[in-house]
Chains A and B, each alone.
Chain A
Amino acid sequence: MANIKIPIGPQHPALKEPESFSITLNGETIISMDMRLGYNHRGIEKACEERTYIQAMYLVERVCGICSHSHSTCFIQAVEEIAGLAVPPRALYIRTIVSELERMHSHLLWLGVAGHEIGFDTLLMYSWRDREVVMDTLAALTGNRVNYGINTFGGVRRDISKEQLDGLLKTMDVLEERTKYYIEVASQEMTLIKRLSGVGYLSHEDAVKLGAVGPTGRASNVDADVRRDDPYLAYKDIEFKVITDTHNDVFGRTLVRVGELMQSYSMIRQLVAKIPEGPVTVKAPRKMPAGEALSRYEAPRGEDVHYVKANGTDKAERVKIRAPTLANLQSVAKMMENNRLADVPIIIAAIDPCFSCTDRMVQIKHADHGRQETLSWQALHAQSLEWYRKQGVDFADLNAKMSRRMKI
């Protein structure tokens, strides 16, 4: 039978964001998949160059409405590194609390969406009901349900009172109890197990090769988490487990996410117990000194990377954003192979895609004569190692780990 091509999107009932997929089918079986992105490309990186740092911070927060705190914190970390600001520890703790609450709301949201994609709408309604509890907490702590705007250069804009911290602990008890029920459902409910097992298989080797990050990678047993590997904010002060799974399929990704929910609850408890007293902000300069910085952040979907280059004025010279979904998209094509057409929505949803995060544009041009070129992975790798060596950072340890993975 001849292969047929089926276009899906940009407007599609299963996927809320505009993106278009072209799926080659043989009968019901998927042979390959091609995708076209960029419907959400708004030109944020360019706009950041035309706005002052404080304006750019609010703009970067609106890269994505689900992991808004991730993007703004990641951007701020880079700028603070350039400016050499010592952020008060209490501010770091408050940022960490908001960051973990964001992870909870994002994972609960995903659980509902995954339920919806497999026709299990009860799960959607249940988990979104509980998500509202998290949203209420976020609104109480920061003043807004989404796009919190709690960050500012040198700290946070709001302090958390004693009563709010106590309330936070009570909320954690409620959520933990309900999440235990979801874990029970996810690990015992036969319809869920049968529907998700073996769907969207991504082997450990492929996950490493294609650079899967976050829960997508961890469900293929890639033991990587920026919170543990390169601690930022207050993560070095608290204990948590990095959840990995060996199922390698959508079922594994579900287990990783519900497991991470439980870890987040325990993290919030530790943060509330350890939060130090003191100021929440230091004065930040309006003009940042010249310099550049790269910042990493474990967003709910995986590793988020921001690069900022400052030139001594009140505007950034270059801002580069690499959102986690971009790193995971390559693996989606692999996951699709040999699956059924009906599994397409759940496989795409399983990486928790966020296309408004992803739609960036890159073109490498030589500054001197405008020649375009593509760097090979090895050349880029060698260049980055050289750059870090000049900065006085030794990546020998990480390098060994990387080469071990590349060999697989």
Chain B
Amino acid sequence: MKWLQKLITWARIKSPWVIHFNTGACNACDIEIVAALTPRFDIERFGILLKGTPRHADVLLCSGPVTRQIQDRLVRIYEQMPEPKFVVAVGTCACSGGVFQGCYNVKGGIDAVLPVSAYIPGCPARPEAIIDGVVKLLSSLDPKPAATLPETTTTAKST
């Protein structure tokens, strides 16, 4: 069965489908995620496709601090995703709450509610950083060590 596992890993890395959810962001990171899909940055060349429903997605891209209103919805969307699933926190607010730390309606970063696989800092995270973060997350799934990727500030660890 080893070859089957290899095939699944290969397929998973080559065609990750993402869903984007705004958890209370200011729109800046959301627009940068969309910008990453458009011709200048063209994230689709890594096989990444934006899907509309959580049931089709492997990766949940979250932007923004988690507000009290959105918290239950976020958990519900996460639960609807099939295994294995990964959460990427896009932007400083999603990583830690950012400038909204201490606001009465903000719970904090995404990791206050969900397990996060990769953090992409930046206010907003630049499209290059988003691509770098997602590619690093994918390469961490590959059992072979990714020797070709240069070291940057973006960190990725598998869950």
Contact = CB atoms under 8 A, between A and B. Distances in A.
Interface stretch (A11-19, A157-165, A214-222, A268-276): A11-19
B20 to A, nearest CB: 7
A253 B137 CA distance: 41
B146 interface: no
A16 B105 contact: no
A389 interface: no
B67 A42 contact: yes
Given A10-B73, A128-B35, A58 B26 contact: no
B106 interface: yes
Interface stretch (B5-13, B96-104, B110-118, B150-158): B96-104
Contact of A39 (B27, B32, B73, B103): B73
Interface in A31-51: 38-44, 46-47, 50
A23 B145 CA distance: 51
Interface string B12-45: 0000000011111111111110110011100000
A101 B82 CA distance: 42
Q: Of residues A40, A66, A128, which shows the largest number of chain B Cβ atoms within 10 Å of its Cβ? A: A40
A356 B26 contact: yes
B40 A129 contact: yes
Contacts of A17: 22, 27, 30
B121 to A, nearest CB: 14
A68 B32 CA distance: 14
Contacts of B77: 11
B73 to A, nearest CB: 6
A66 B27 contact: yes
Contacts of B53: 13
Secondary structure call for the B interface: loop
Secondary structure call for the A interface: loop
Contacts of B20: 16
A40 B124 contact: no
B33 to A, nearest CB: 9
Given A41-B105, A146-B31, A65 B39 contact: no
Given A125-B38, A129-B38, A40 B103 contact: no
Interface string A47-75: 10010000000110011111010000000
A13 B32 CA distance: 17
Given A17-B30, A40-B22, A58 B99 contact: yes
Contacts of B51: 13
Contacts of B28: 62, 65-66, 68, 146-147
Given A42-B100, A44-B103, A16 B22 contact: yes
B109 interface: no
Interface residues of A, number: 40
Contacts of B54: 11
A124 B38 contact: yes
B99 A39 contact: no
A202 interface: no
A129 B77 CA distance: 31
Given A13-B53, A66-B31, A132-B35, A46 B103 contact: yes
Contact of A65 (B31, B100, B102): B31
Contacts of B133: none
A50 B31 CA distance: 29
B5 to A, nearest CB: 32
B126 A47 contact: no
A128 B64 CA distance: 23
Interface in A316-369: 354, 356
A109 interface: yes
Contacts of B103: 42-44, 46-47
Contacts of A66: 27-28, 31
Interface string A215-258: 00000000000000000000000000000000000000000000
B101 to A, nearest CB: 9
A170 interface: no
30 contacts: A13-B51, A13-B53, A16-B20, A16-B34, A18-B22, A18-B23, A18-B24, A18-B73, A39-B67, A39-B73, A40-B64, A42-B24, A42-B67, A42-B105, A42-B106, A44-B103, A47-B102, A62-B26, A62-B98, A63-B26, A128-B34, A128-B38, A128-B40, A129-B40, A132-B35, A132-B38, A146-B28, A146-B31, A147-B123, A356-B27
By Cβ-Cβ distance, the 10 closest A-B pairs, closest first, are: A65-B28, A13-B52, A128-B38, A65-B27, A43-B103, A65-B26, A146-B28, A43-B105, A132-B40, A129-B39
Interface of A: 10-14, 16-18, 38-44, 46-47, 50, 58-59, 62-66, 68, 109, 112, 124-125, 128-129, 131-132, 135, 145-147, 354, 356
Given A10-B73, A128-B34, 18 more contacts: A10-B70, A11-B21, A16-B27, A18-B23, A39-B70, A42-B106, A43-B105, A64-B26, A64-B27, A65-B29, A65-B30, A65-B124, A66-B28, A68-B26, A124-B38, A128-B38, A147-B123, A147-B124
